[in-house]
Amino acid sequence: MLRDNLRPATYSQNNANKKGYSSSGYKYVYQMKDASRNKPFRAEVRKDGVAHHGGTFRTPEEAARAGDILAIELHGEFAYTNFPKENYKQPNT
């Protein structure tokens, strides 16, 4: 069996790398219940059962980018992003 290309990951790290979308069409983006607000979309990333909020935004695309940045901060190399990771400055390790 070919396992040379696999990286060790915990269950939590593996789940952080899963593709998944909300009704907004982007991962980490949720529409606020009161859609009449000036900024109806919020970015939220979960890690270890805790919700981390990334702010509220006018468009789902803005919220998706903020969610991507927050996901990279929280999940590092295991983060699944809506847009290519090359679009974001990588933190120094």
Written as one string, the DSSP assignment of 8-50 is ---HHHHHHT-----TTSSTTEEE-S-TTSSS-EEEEEEETTE
Whole-angstrom distance, CA of residue 66 vs CA of residue 8: 27
At 65, the pLDDT band (50, 70, 90 cuts) reads: very high
Spell out the domains of the chain, with CATH numbers in brackets: 21-83 (3.30.730.10)
* Residue 19, pLDDT score: 66
* Residue 74, pLDDT score: 95
Tell me: pLDDT of 70 over 90. Answer: yes
Tell me: pLDDT of 69 over 90. Answer: yes
Provide mean pLDDT across the span 73-84. 92
Asked if residue 63 lies in contact with residue 26, where contact means CB atoms within 8 angstroms, the answer is yes
At 2, the pLDDT band (50, 70, 90 cuts) reads: low
